[in-house]
């Protein structure tokens, strides 16, 4: 067994190696801002339709409202999720998951691992599933879900999804209390050790200010509405009988991020929230529908 990881990046590499060895496609992050790894088309869209799909990737996730100007040791407006999707979920998926914890250095006879009921849902993409929060010594280290619906459509076969909150997991594995103190690369690097703070603190500070005060609400709103208009138009186009679902879905993601920015700016009244979420869900459903049609036709 290779040595347990010593840094944030080696934790990621260990997971990549582990899931690669298990046969997953190792993808790179999607290049559109998203609020969670689930929203990557490799999960939301690939979870739909009959074709098998097994992938793992890191996804930078943005939650504009969670920014704390780099002053809170646990909260970030930009962080990493490690995402695994296995479709259909293999019968031994729990064992595979537990193997990944061992790979990153958690001894399952020393640590207390428990599967605690947690029914996951994401209303903006019309998705829900049953599963657990996985606890390690009382801390939630992963979300484990068997998707039942995505984009408002029943899934068959069922995809199993694993989401690891990488910073939190790393803080636990390395015994670090402040996320900015995490060793980003090898602490003994001959080129100089860098912490998470060295890499990301400036980003947290600047983005927090932009999220809370910088963005022009009127512009955000206008952009949101443009995206919303564009989605059905894009879905009406096709190339060699293939509907342009993937570009349309990117627009849904953009709309979703614009909504999150407006929300962080305090520009969305409580009563409006549900209606915005409904609008995004409708767009997502349109994409999901078209995607399934493509998959079934192929």
Partner 1 sequence: MPQLLLELFSEEIPARMQGQAAKDLERMAREHLAAAGFLPEALKTFAGPRRLTLVAEGLPLAQADRKEELKGPRVGAPQQAMDGFLRKAGLTQDQLVEQNGVWMAFVEKKGRPTAEIVAEMVEAIVRGFAWPKSMTWGTGKLRWVRPLKRILCVLDREVVPFEIDGIVSGDVTEGHRFMGDAKPFVAKDFDEYAAGLEAHYVVLDVEERKERILEGCKTLCFARHLELVEDIGLLEEVAGLAEWPTPVLGDMDPSFLDLPPEVIRTSMRTHQKYFAVRKPGEAGLAPHFITVANIEAKDGGKVIAAGNAKVLSSRLADARFFWDEDVKTGFEPWLAKLEGVTFHAKLGTMAQRVDRIVALAGEIAPLVGADVAKAKEAARLAKADLTSQMVGEFPELQGVMGGYYARHFGLDAEVAAAIEGHYKPQGPSDAVPTAPVSVAVALADKLDTLVGFFAIDEKPTGSKDPYALRRAALGVIRIILEAGKRFPLSEVLKPAHARAHEAATAGLWRFKATDEGKLVEGGPVLIDETVVRDLIAFFADRLKVTLKDQGKRHDLVDAVFALGDDDLARIVARVEALDGFLKTDDGKNLLAGYKRASNILKAEEKKGPLPEGQAEEPAADSAAEVGLYQALRLLDRPLKDALAKEDFTDAMAQLAELRGPVDAYLDGVFVNDPEHRDNRLKTLAAVRAAMGLVADFGLVAG
Residue 94 within binding range of partner 1, rule CB under 8 A: yes
Q: Which of 20, 21, 26, 108 binds partner 1 (CB under 8 A)?
A: 108
H runs (alpha helix) in 242-269: 245-264
Report how far residue 25's alpha carbon sits from residue 56's, in angstroms, rounded to the nearest whole number: 6
- Determine the length of the chain: 298
Q: Which stretch binds partner 1 (CB under 8 A): 214-222, 229-237, 263-271, 286-294?
A: 263-271
Question: What count of other Cβ atoms lies within 10 Å of the Cβ of residue 138?
Answer: 7
Q: Which stretch binds partner 1 (CB under 8 A): 3-11, 183-191, 231-239, 265-273?
A: 265-273
Q: Which of 1, 3, 28, 110 binds partner 1 (CB under 8 A)?
A: 110
Do 134 and 161 touch, CB atoms closer than 8 A?
no
Give the DSSP letter of residue 195.
B
Give the DSSP letter of residue 106.
-
Residues from 65 through 84 that contact partner 1 (CB under 8 A)? 74
Residue 178 within binding range of partner 1, rule CB under 8 A: no
Give the DSSP letter of residue 47.
T
CB of 152 to partner 1, least distance (A): 12
User: How far from each other are the two terminal CA atoms of the chain, in whole angstroms?
Assistant: 41
Q: Which of 91, 191, 218, 298 binds partner 1 (CB under 8 A)?
A: 91
Q: Which stretch binds partner 1 (CB under 8 A): 38-46, 102-110, 183-191, 229-237?
A: 102-110
Do 37 and 61 touch, CB atoms closer than 8 A?
yes
CB of 146 to partner 1, least distance (A): 5
Residue 205 within binding range of partner 1, rule CB under 8 A: no
Report how far residue 78's alpha carbon sits from residue 208's, in angstroms, rounded to the nearest whole number: 10
Q: Which two tokens stand for residue 229?
A: 């208009």
What is the contact mask toward partner 1 in residues 12 to 51, using x (rule: CB under 8 A)?
----------------------------------------
* β-bridge mates for residue 139, sequence order: 136
Report how far residue 162's alpha carbon sits from residue 95's, in angstroms, rounded to the nearest whole number: 12
Give the relative orientation of helices 270-297 and 217-235 as an angle to the nearest 10 degrees: 20
Which residue, 59 or 144, has its beta carbon nearer to partner 1?
144
Total chain residues near partner 1 (CB under 8 A): 41
What is the contact mask toward partner 1 in residues 125 to 164, using x (rule: CB under 8 A)?
----xxxx---xxxx------x-x-------xxx-x----
Report how far residue 143's alpha carbon sits from residue 91's, in angstroms, rounded to the nearest whole number: 18
Question: What count of other Cβ atoms lies within 10 Å of the Cβ of residue 187?
Answer: 12
Which residue, 176 or 194, has its beta carbon nearer to partner 1?
176
Q: Which of 21, 71, 119, 198 binds partner 1 (CB under 8 A)?
A: 119
CB of 117 to partner 1, least distance (A): 4
Do 82 and 166 touch, CB atoms closer than 8 A?
yes
Residue 189 within binding range of partner 1, rule CB under 8 A: no
The binding site for partner 1 (CB under 8 A) comprises: 74, 88-91, 94, 98, 107-117, 119, 129-132, 136-139, 146, 148, 156-158, 160, 172, 177, 269-271, 275, 278, 282
């Amino acid at each position: 067994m290779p040595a347990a990881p010593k840094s944030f990046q080696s934790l990621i590499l260990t997971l990549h190696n582990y899931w690669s060895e298990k046969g997953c496609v190792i993808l790179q992050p999607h290049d559109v801002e998203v609020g969670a790894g689930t929203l990557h088309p490799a999960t939301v869209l690939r979870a739909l339709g009959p074709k098998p799909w097994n992938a793992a990737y890191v996804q930078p996730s943005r939650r504009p409202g969670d920014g704390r100007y780099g002053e809170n040791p646990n909260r970030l407006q930009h962080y990493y999720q490690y995402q695994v999707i296995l479709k259909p979920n293999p019968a031994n998926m729990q064992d595979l998951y537990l193997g990944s914890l061992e790979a990153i250095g958690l001894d399952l006879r020393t640590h207390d691992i428990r599967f605690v009921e947690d029914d996951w849902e994401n209303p903006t993409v019309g998705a829900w599933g049953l599963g657990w929060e996985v606890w390690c010594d009382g801390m939630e280290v992963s979300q484990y879900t068997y998707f039942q619906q995505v984009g408002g459509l029943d899934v068959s076969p069922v995809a199993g999804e694993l989401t690891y909150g990488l910073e939190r997991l790393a803080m636990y594995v390395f015994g670090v209390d402040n996320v900015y103190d995490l060793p980003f690369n090898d602490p003994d690097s001959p080129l100089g050790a860098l912490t998470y703070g060295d890499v990301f603190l400036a980003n947290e500070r600047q983005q927090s200010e932009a999220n809370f005060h910088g963005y022009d609400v009127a512009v955000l709103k206008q952009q949101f509405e443009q995206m919303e208009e564009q989605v059905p138009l894009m879905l009406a186009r096709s190339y060699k009988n293939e509907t342009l679902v993937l570009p349309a879905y990117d627009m849904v993601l953009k709309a979703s991020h614009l909504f999150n920015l407006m929300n962080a700016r305090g520009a969305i009244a409580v009563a409006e929230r549900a209606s915005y979420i409904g609008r995004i869900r409708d767009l997502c459903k349109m994409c999901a529908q078209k995607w399934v049609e493509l998959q079934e036709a192929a």
